[in-house]
Amino acid sequence: MSTLNNEWWRGATIYQIYPRSFADSNGDGIGDLRGVTAHLDYVASLGVDGVWLSPFFPSPMRDFGYDVLDYRGVDPMFGSLADFDALLARAHALGLKLIIDQVWSHTAIEHAWFEESRRSRDNAKADWYVWADAKPDGSPPSNWQSWMGCPTWTWDPRRQQYYLHNFLAQMPDLNLHCVAVQDALLDVGRFWLERGVDGFRLDTANYYCHDRRFTDNPPQPPELRGDVPAAMQQHLYNICQPETLGFLERVRELTDCFDARMTVAEIGSANNLERMLEYTRGTHRLHTAYSFVLLGDQPKPNDLVQLMLPWQESQGAAHEQAWPSWALSNHDAVRVATRWAKGNPNRAKQLLALLSCLRGTVFLYQGEELGLTQSEVPFEQIQDPFGKAHWPRNKGRDGCRTPMPWQSNALHAGFTSGTPWLPVDAAQQANGVDLQECDPDSSLNFARRLLALRRAHPALRLGRFEPLQADDKVLVFLRRCGEDGVLCAFNLSDDAVSASLPSALATGAQPLTLGSAERTDLQLDLGPWAAMIFPVRTRAHNETDPEG
């Protein structure tokens, strides 16, 4: 197999499917694997390279599959292993890669490993989870706080010790300092790789290891202090420990035993960019990583450039081929059409264009291609434990997880014939797939044109990122691979702006434009929230550089 095929993930676009909300095949109101399989033709029609499938494993579903009960099975609500195999086969038949979540930082409290670990301090799995004695006054071993709104320690009367959980109390943390735990997890990974999956999205990868001395986290500086306990401290000791790197190298060693497989880490920390670089540096760690750096507030154009530049040196000694991934929406974040675009459909299209032009691997969340905004879910219908605990200051994650609107006039938008687990958003249903398919100017068809452009140009998939102009309003950059180049210009403001162009850029095909955008020989005039993307011919920056 060629190196190019082995590195299919480099510059790829991967479509995230949250199976509970994608398509229900049996009328129970919950999306399932057969529903996913039935709609893979639609996914392939977008022009993406692969699918990231969120958890489908047996689970008590307190955190909707991220509390795993059995790493090698399929929860009956989603189907069976045979259904998974059929999904995988169909994806491959359509030319789609399939990567699946692996949740290796914690398990469900009902997992057999934890049941054994909690029985005594000297059983075979006694050290498979993080246990610690109480302080002399009975208080927990450290001051660590969970983002789920509770301390990270819970007392277990059977062992007469506290156990660590960086999330819900019913999701105890595995002890990845224990080699036997690493071995067991790698066996899980091998099970799925041998079944044919193309890689893993590693959930909360920077949470794999903790400080074994249980050092207290220091407080946040007053100007950074949040309004929940977890935001009142710097998470220096419960996450992001250096021992994580050794396990990541073992994961890479495993995947390298199989052709054309990949790993992508999810990272959530105060030092997102630093961790992304660290976890993907060289050829012995993970293939790529994404973080929450673009899943929060919108950065200014010049700040966005600063996020891109470290990866530009990836062929040098400093970063040794580190490769990024980028996402603007996912199942844990307010949809970008609301968060950044403020519900404006043209701005949402512009953000699709921006994402498709970034250097790295791109993740597109289901419905993002439709320009879907965040749903308002009434409190009495909230399912997310985080939303229940933090309402109304934070309404949780259900608003980005509502059912996919397939048909504008069908019951429950064609998602299910039963009662959906979350309510269908009427505003989303009005932007259903069936209506957008018929509209050449729809967000859906615009997304298809963007992804076709990305696939057609090595410059967009693999090329260098060269900023030409970046300030508080405008972002203009060149993507270049050899003589193939694509110039990308975005006005991220309410004002009309102009941008200067370098001379000697030969324009290629017809530009893809959004909003009011005009080009003269040396200038671009961009109306509010406009974009222009056009191929150019360039001379190689460095003939010895494989990226040109």
499 neighbors 469 (Cβ within 8 angstroms): yes
- CA 148 to CA 155: how far, in whole Å? 17
**Residue 306, both tokens:** 């600063």
Q: Is the four-CA dihedral 308, 444, 46, 511 of positive or negative sign?
A: negative
Of 64, 63, 149, 61, nearest in space to 394 by CA: 149
Give catalytic status of residue 266 as yes or no.
yes
Number of neighbours of residue 452 by Cβ within 10 angstroms: 14
Q: Is 525 helix (H, G, I), strand (E, B) or coil?
A: strand
Helix (H) or strand (E) holding 100: strand 97-102
From residue 380, give the alpha-carbon distance in Å to each of 86, 391, 415. Answer: 37, 11, 21
Give catalytic status of residue 437 as yes or no.
no
Amino acid at site 439? D
Q: Which candidate in 198, 266, 369, 484 is catalytic?
A: 266
Q: Which residue has the tokens 């193939």?
A: 484
Burial class (CB in 10 A: 0-12, 13-18, 19+), 351: buried
For helices 81-93 and 179-195, the axis angle rounded to 10 degrees is 60
What are residue 290's phi and psi, to 5 degrees? Answer: -125, 165
Q: Which candidate in 32, 101, 173, 203 is catalytic?
A: 203
- CA 140 to CA 132: how far, in whole Å? 8
- CA 147 to CA 168: how far, in whole Å? 9
Q: Which residue has the tokens 């974040």?
A: 333
Of 53, 8, 10, 9, nearest in space to 315 by CA: 10
149 neighbors 386 (Cβ within 8 angstroms): yes
Amino acid at site 534? F
Number of neighbours of residue 341 by Cβ within 10 angstroms: 22
Give catalytic residue positions.
203, 266
